Structure 1
């Protein structure tokens, strides 16, 4: 399993309620693989002539996630990503959907799938810890 260097921060929001920010690092090859997977899933999910209002909101969040990673694309060195627990959940779900292969296979999928599977394992572990921190209002140490 690949370990993604990460940090989970618990801080009070404007109303004094606990909020959680997740920061983790991706290598350039991981950024490219994750972008490929996200774009593939977005195309498979939202290539409809009509979508509901809920789908439009989900598509907006999905596209925002892609934009964050696209900003890191093509850079040298490690890319640092910060996101909310909710957006990390979107990433986790999308990577799992890509890994399941329930879409039409595209060029490059086979090459990117092993990298995506490694990132997915790490993201799942980070997401579990981040959700636990959000629910408990306290951080647990990294394993």
Structure 2
């Protein structure tokens, strides 16, 4: 078995349309895919973002797996950013709340995490290895 990269990161929202508007504002790009639910209201909206066009899916909480916690916690996906402090400031300005403050993890590695307005953990990180790998793949 080989894990070759993530296929989609799913964030849950009670109001997928509001979540899509918030992420459009944050990311500066429009979603590229939308699927309506049984009531015709979007139940899934997807963005492609970043250097590898990673998929970020916003899913109606009505379709969440049984027992999915409603409080933030568990795994944190950290997105590489070039300006960690500026990104955290922007996230907070848009209404996210601090979950993990800016934390130095070692020489050159710095992380932070917020909770978006829809209850999802969003991690950001400055990671020199990411930049090295990106340079090798181009």
* TM-score, with structure 1 as normaliser: 0.28
> Which has the larger strand fraction?
2
* TM-score, with structure 2 as normaliser: 0.29
